[in-house]
Copies of this chain bind each other. A is one copy, B any other.
């Protein structure tokens, strides 16, 4: 299936470092699929609030595990302005000038309206998507939510229609005046991510094996 390109709007068009912008829809999916948590931005009492939370992507929808703050905002309105940002931190860029230090990263800043998912089937679907993003293989392995648990959970949904995707994946720049600074090192220090050894909960019998979806989980 051909993915549409991201149609840039004024606020989704980077003003700084436009060369880092990516407009291919697959780049947005790539960032969202590689991230683990998102930062949800809302306006509460006239001020911005940024909350880290879990999310998952389902086609052209991003589901976000909702805060009680979002719920209270959405009690009065069907939808609210929101921003969901997923960023991956790939390395520190050391330059010969302090000014030219930078970060290698991938980020997606999604603008739009967030709504609370009220349809029961879509809510279960949204929770499954968020759970599977956080812990692939867990949804089918574990007990699915009871009605009471579903009622105690908020799931927000946003369309993936307006997003700014940026990628920096390069070495440092070198200003002309620093070219002669031959003794000064410059380069990139990459970040490495991985999973440690699973720690079994106290209440689990010693003879229960760690399931493969946990023990063999690969860093995305």
Contacts and interface: CB of A to CB of B under 8 A. Distances in A.
Interface in A119-142: 127-128, 131, 134-135, 138-139, 141-142
B185 A211 contact: yes
A178 interface: yes
A83 B135 contact: no
B98 A50 contact: no
A214 B198 contact: no
B178 A98 contact: no
B131 A171 contact: no
Contact of A145 (B45, B98, B171): B98
Contacts of A179: 203
A46 B47 CA distance: 10
A16 B195 contact: no
A138 B94 contact: yes
Nearest to A141: B184
Nearest to A105: B52
A76 interface: no
> Which of A68, A141, A187: most chain B CB closer than 10 A?
A187
